[in-house]
Amino acid sequence: MQKKEQSKLDPALRLAPQTSESRREEMNKLKDSDRTELQKAMEHNNRLDKEILALRSRVRSLDSERKVFLELVEKLKEEICEYQKNEKPGLALPGMDETEENACCTLQLQDEKGPARFEEEC
């Protein structure tokens, strides 16, 4: 009876190392595959990080330009207002007819950060 049981177990025991080895190989393949995927994900993440840094830099640059332009607009508005205050009454600007002269506006800001608006003084 032992021989029958042993003969049944013999093929299973012989296949066990092969099965174990094939499972190890499969595990190694999966590990390699996971490493490759992880490496690709890390590279993609690095590219995105660089892109984010470049975009942040661009935003800072545009904000700086915007600030310079807003300061220039404010300065020009002040110059226009000063010019209009110093302008002699009845003296038309070159190339401006009476209607256009009457339509001249004084520029004012709604608030420091708000957009510029024009208020007519007609």
* pLDDT range class, residue 107, cuts 50, 70, 90: very low
* Neighbouring-strand partners of residue 117: 108
Helix H or strand E encompassing 102: helix 98-102
Each residue of 71-106: pLDDT tens digit? 999 999 999 999 999 986 655 555 555 544 444 544
Each residue of 6-54: pLDDT tens digit? 666 666 666 667 778 888 899 999 999 999 999 999 999 999 999 999 9
Determine the longest span between alpha carbons in the chain, in angstroms.
Answer: 130
| Whether the predicted pLDDT of 112 surpasses 50 | no
CA-CA distance, 65 to 56, in Å (whole number)? 14
CA-CA distance, 92 to 102, in Å (whole number)? 10
CA dihedral 33, 39, 43, 49 (to 10 degrees): 120
pTM for this predicted structure: 0.48
Helix H or strand E encompassing 70: helix 2-86
